[in-house]
Structure 1
Amino acid sequence: MNRKVFFIAVMFGLAAVSNSVAQQPRVLTVHANKPVATIEPTMYGVFFEDINLGADGGIYAELIKNRSFEFSKPLMGWKVAQKPFTEGAVTVQNRQDKQSANPRFVRIKLANVQAGQLTLTNEGFRGMGIKKDVRYNFSTLYRTAATGISLKISLIDAKGNVLGSTVAVPAATGNDWKKMTASFTSNATEPKAQFSIEIVGNGTIDMDMISLFPSDTWKQRPGGMRADMIQMLADMKPGFLRFPGGCIVEGFDLDQRYQWKKTIGPIEERELIINRWNFEFAHRPTPDYFQTFGLGFFEYFQLAEDIGATALPILNCGMACQFNTAEVVPMDQLEPYIQDALDLIEFANGDVQTTWGKKRADMGHPAPFNLQFLGVGNENWGPQYVERLAVFQQAIKAKYPNIKIVASSGTDPDGERFDLLNNALRQMKVDIIDEHYYRRPEWFLQNARRYDTYPRNNVKIFAGEYAAQSDKTVSVDNRNNWMTALSEAAFLTGLERNAGVVAMASYAPLFAHVDGWQWTPDLIWVDNLRSLGTTDYQVQKLFSLHKGNTVVPVLLNNETVAGQDSLYATASIDSANKELVIKLVNVSGDAKVVSMAVEGIKKLNPNARQIVLQSNDLKAMNTFENPLLVSPKESAVKLKGKKLDYEALPYSVNVIRISMQ
């Protein structure tokens, strides 16, 4: 046996490839006139969770950390400097009896304070990424009875240089809260800037919701999202966007669960909570990780619409995280949770005359979002989940029979816990079962046939969370390298080949900040200025962009291509472009020469194209210094009649697109 073939077989935990198989002619036969299944538009999507500074400090472009002083330490992220020091000049006040969603604000008492004597500085989320020639928009809520107070607002680089500044002056006095705004342009780029407010004057001023946004947000929306990160998603053309998680849906306990109704409406009325990833991992504590919900359910729906994806929200089912407190709501107290689900559907789809449809319209979107899917529970398990899910299912289907319910199969893709749920959910005839797999690369190769024998019925599969672990699950040593991406590509051929069973798939987690992550591996890594698509991202993007809409058989020696001679394959028809799309993955360290024979098509254009992801190094990783180390390369290939002699390079993912005439 060739040593490279043996190496990859052992590394991925495969059985040794026999010489008899390797020496047989590799003829891949594509039966283009024998459709097997429809590939749903939702086949490949993205899963968003606020982990690894995914929202605040991530796609939500707010630069001020703890802008409303609601963190458990009210001045976390802020530094107060006084010359001379005056006790009590800066205090945190609480108006809980009047505005419980956002009770705290800062009160500043000035006694003829001059320039340079009192400054508030905010450190941002691991610093602030500031770009040259970009305008930055400042705002704050304030109230004051004094006149003559002014605020000098500035961005400062890591060396103390001023990147840009302006002066803001309260426009009115009185007891009512008002909004002050100002803007200025940065004169340089800086990845670790800080923001300062120098206050001068005489009297008292209260301030809350101190905010700074770049003007170049996604679609230039004020108070919007970080454009480069969203562009990474848009470039994938995802079929769906799952939100808001993930484990944050459950919460450490039920008090910390995600409640969508608290994430809509005016920003200042959205109630901040601690993020469960603040304290989840002792090896990666993040004490400044909270959820402000500036990115809430309305913004998630809007984002899905922006990038052409179907929205897939997940709601709490009355169960907290079973790895933490495992709290459950008694069955006779479940009604508010069910009502939240019904109200969410009305919020997304209801007429503007309905209660929740009007709330959506008041936020600027009178047209419905056309919600089709709803997840009930995240990674929950046990009979306690099944009995709660049944009540949700009955209530939702009674009022909204066309909404497809996504149900959890627990934490693992096998075992007693999985079997109990899989059997129960099928008996309940749920629409979609959500399966998760965080496993070593060899698992993904060995499970490329996982769905070959699944029942072909109305119960579909959502591969809701998967990522090959280069080390082990929850290891800080996991890396997004070419070995993990290659094994995922092989597995994805099995998902696509079984599109009659698998309706949706998404890698997880989606984003990670290089200075604020809790979990690795992750699909897209960011710092304060840049976004990086990993090798895994390149694979997910390739499959999403080239999925076709109808599966057709591709066979090697009359068998499904799922590991024979280290090859994995699937084929589909892209009817919109009138193209045959063949995906071929070679997990061997040797090149594989195959002859692709297309049957069932009268005529093929001899001029085809190939898109290839390849590296000879299984440990290769895309980095900020070399972001396209492993990236798609496109070139022409030539058919001879209805055959294509093709060389699949070592460790490669290949897409061949052939025009059908």
Structure 2
Amino acid sequence: MGFILSVLLSGSVMAQTKKFQVNANDIKAQIQQNMWGVFFEDINMGADGGIYAELIKNRSFEFYKPLMGWKREGKAYKEGDILVINRQDAKSNNPRFLRVKANSVAKGDFTLTNEGFRGMGLKKDLAYEFSVFYRQLKSGIQLNLELLDGKGNVIGTGKLIPENADGNWHTQKTTLVSSATELKGRFRIAFEGTGEIDLDMISLFPTDTWKKRPGGLRADMVQRLADLKPGFIRFPGGCIVEGHELSTRYQWKKTVGSVEDRQLIVNRWNTEFAHRLTPDYYQTFGLGFYEYFLMAEDIGANALPILNCGMACQFNTAEVVPMEQLDEYVQDALDLVEFANGPVTSKWGKVRSDMGHPASFNLKYLGVGNENWGPQYVERLKVFQKALKSKYPEVKLVFSSGTDPEGERFQYLDKELRNLKVDIIDEHFYRSPKWFLENAKRYDNYDRKGPKIFAGEYAAHSGKTATPDNINNWLTALAEASFLTGAERNADVVQLASYAPLFAHLDGWQWTPDLIWVDNLHTYGTPNYYIQQLYSLNKGTHAVSITSENEVVAGKDGYYASATIDKKTNEIIVKISNYDANSREIELNISGIKKLNNTGKDIYMVSDIDAVNSIPAPLNVSPKERMVKASGKTVKAKLEPYSFHVFKFKATL
């Protein structure tokens, strides 16, 4: 009898309604309207082979192996008919081109085929723009252009007859239309006739790019970003900012101006991981700083560029530029602000204007250094800080606290950066779901008068970091959602936050987990993506008090919660995570308002903790919505096991 009574009492305790007190008058922080953003790095074929819509791989033959991605075929092809020429003296940024010789070649007997980036995504009835930079030495060669499906069948044709034979370089374009949809197509040039011609910048773009811009971005991938309504875009990295060595660091000045003049370099992630070698991974910089700024503007986000601080990746060579040679790096930072914001009469403002954007990009943030650490980093930051604040005091500077959110390196940098009274400290944390759950109070005791925090890179990892074992399942997303209640609760300290990495190609990734996965035709958001979206779309204007048993709600009994009000829309917004295997009944008691509408929304996510999204099932784990009722200023609701909820009610504040 005693055992039965014990079980019944235990069950009654478990069934008790959990009560939360929300005080809309107890404002804790003003929420930055750009708080929730995205971090773009060219990793996992995120740029070339991803959002940059170019379909031709190695279009200018500048890879380490000049014909990587290309295949010469045909019974009329002989050794020496295609040569790689290096014109280093004439065009140092893009020195290589192909010299093609043909002698009475019939169509199909001499071909050059490009494999694309793990194939080419081709869409039925869509036009594709082909362009080429050519010079005729002996006229008479015709270029027959073919789109191929995965089996080699022709699904689109075009023709280009070079128009100029004056011995100078010219650009010529034409279009092809695909008659079928193909995930892993290819592109072939079939030479015909007799002659000799030089070819460079062989390019193929879909015409349905973002905003229909020629040579632009994949519309579906940009739309994924736009749907998040991000407050900012941090770019271009990440470790590619640092480079394996300083010679392969990201140099923004080499990514602006004419695309054909941008100097290709190897991608930092090319051979970083033995388990995911990607030797054909390079940066063409077709997506350069101008395009990043433009994309940010397009989707209503602030640009947050990160520049090299004079240090290469400390996991690789750890090269540093001598202090007496740091001026070039500092000048790059000063010139970037001028490029973004300067008048068209300034040197770099004119470059921006000449590219098509005379108006300022209104740059407000600038980061110096990515995951750098140690006294050598601080020594260099002081120089950047002095120069930038002297000339552009209005630009907020972001400095890194290293690779980890704790430990000796972090403690050293955190102290030094606070002593320097920097604007914003960039914290990174790739940790287990358990860490995220245990650190929901991380920012509760941060100095309110010190530097603001940018959670610049974070993700819950289901396995060991930097291994292929990590997956974007509901467990990791819910852990992140739980942690982020603490970031939102402390919005006076945490002013910016972005998940990392952003994109990954299903056939070309190096690092996992990632927020958005793509192939050559499709995209899908992970469960983690939808958590980011829920925070971004439901942020409110001010964080207010939410407690249970007079304590903040940060993990006790598996509950995590934050509350905000939106003074623009007159709404109460409460986010609650139930990180528990049991269903729970809750009660929200809301004070500090005049009236609460009697119906509201419960936007929620719930699934098996191992559930994932995929190309065939992109919405397997995604938000749902249902009506929830209020009685007076009290809301009663049910939380499913392992669920996350956003409750929204109109109110008279």
TM range (shorter): over 0.9
1:82 Cα deviation after fit? 3.0
1:146 Cα deviation after fit? 2.8
Matching residue within 353, 356, 363 for 1:371: 363
Structure 1: 5+ residue stretches without partners: 1-17
Counterpart residue identity of residue 390, structure 2: A
Query: 1:68: which partner in 2?
Result: 60
Alignment pair present for 1:244 and 2:232: no
Query: 1:640: which partner in 2?
Result: 631
Alignment pair present for 1:650 and 2:651: no
Matching residue within 592, 610, 622 for 2:613: 622
- CA distance, structure 1, for counterparts of residue 260 and residue 65 of structure 2: 19
Aligned pairs for 1:257-268 within 5 A: 257-268=249-260
Alignment pair present for 1:550 and 2:538: no
Secondary structure at the residue paired with 2:157? strand
Query: 2:585: which partner in 1?
Result: 593
Query: 1:288: which partner in 2?
Result: 280
Matching residue within 76, 83, 92 for 1:91: 83
Q: Classify 1:454/1:181 alpha carbon distance in 2 versus 1 (closer, same or farther; 3 Å).
A: same
- TM-score using structure 2 length: 0.97
Query: 1:421: which partner in 2?
Result: 413
Query: 1:5: which partner in 2?
Result: none
Aligned pairs for 1:5-404 within 5 A: 25-404=17-396
Secondary structure at the residue paired with 2:445? coil
Counterpart residue identity of residue 641, structure 2: P
- CA distance, structure 2, for counterparts of residue 497 and residue 399 of structure 1: 35
Identity in percent: 62
Q: Classify 1:244/1:19 alpha carbon distance in 2 versus 1 (closer, same or farther; 3 Å).
A: farther
Query: 2:5: which partner in 1?
Result: none
Counterpart residue identity of residue 481, structure 1: N
- CA distance, structure 2, for counterparts of residue 22 and residue 503 of structure 1: 37
Deviations for 1:137-170, whole angstroms, at most 9, x for unmatched residues?
0000001033332111110001221111111111
Secondary structure at the residue paired with 1:155? strand
1:202 Cα deviation after fit? 1.3
1:41 Cα deviation after fit? 1.5
Secondary structure at the residue paired with 1:471? coil
Contact 1:248 1:257 in 2 (8 A): yes
Structure 2: 5+ residue stretches without partners: 1-9
1:21 Cα deviation after fit? 8.6
Deviations for 1:330-360, whole angstroms, at most 9, x for unmatched residues?
1111000000000000000001111100000
Aligned pairs for 1:448-467 within 5 A: 448-467=440-459
Matching residue within 501, 524, 530 for 1:532: 524
- CA distance, structure 1, for counterparts of residue 13 and residue 582 of structure 2: 15
State which drifts further: 204-213 or 571-580.
571-580
1:19 Cα deviation after fit? 9.9
Contact 2:114 2:188 in 1 (8 A): yes
- CA distance, structure 1, for counterparts of residue 77 and residue 357 of structure 2: 49
Contact 1:21 1:565 in 2 (8 A): no
Contact 1:138 1:211 in 2 (8 A): yes
Aligned residue-pair number: 643
Secondary structure at the residue paired with 2:304? strand
Counterpart residue identity of residue 436, structure 2: F
State which drifts further: 604-613 or 286-295.
604-613
Q: Classify 1:19/1:325 alpha carbon distance in 2 versus 1 (closer, same or farther; 3 Å).
A: farther
Contact 2:45 2:509 in 1 (8 A): yes
Secondary structure at the residue paired with 1:32? strand
1:575 Cα deviation after fit? 1.6
Contact 2:15 2:585 in 1 (8 A): no
Counterpart residue identity of residue 420, structure 1: Y
State which drifts further: 619-628 or 236-245.
619-628
- CA distance, structure 2, for counterparts of residue 433 and residue 630 of structure 1: 33
Deviations for 1:584-610, whole angstroms, at most 9, x for unmatched residues?
110001112111011010111111111
Secondary structure at the residue paired with 1:654? strand
1:116 Cα deviation after fit? 1.4
- CA distance, structure 2, for counterparts of residue 370 and residue 596 of structure 1: 42
- TM-score using structure 1 length: 0.96
Query: 1:6: which partner in 2?
Result: none
Contact 1:596 1:643 in 2 (8 A): yes
Counterpart residue identity of residue 658, structure 1: F
- CA distance, structure 2, for counterparts of residue 23 and residue 427 of structure 1: 50
Alignment pair present for 1:610 and 2:602: yes
1:23 Cα deviation after fit? 7.3
1:392 Cα deviation after fit? 0.2
Aligned pairs for 1:454-493 within 5 A: 454-493=446-485
- CA distance, structure 1, for counterparts of residue 191 and residue 128 of structure 2: 19
1:430 Cα deviation after fit? 0.5
- CA distance, structure 2, for counterparts of residue 302 and residue 84 of structure 1: 46
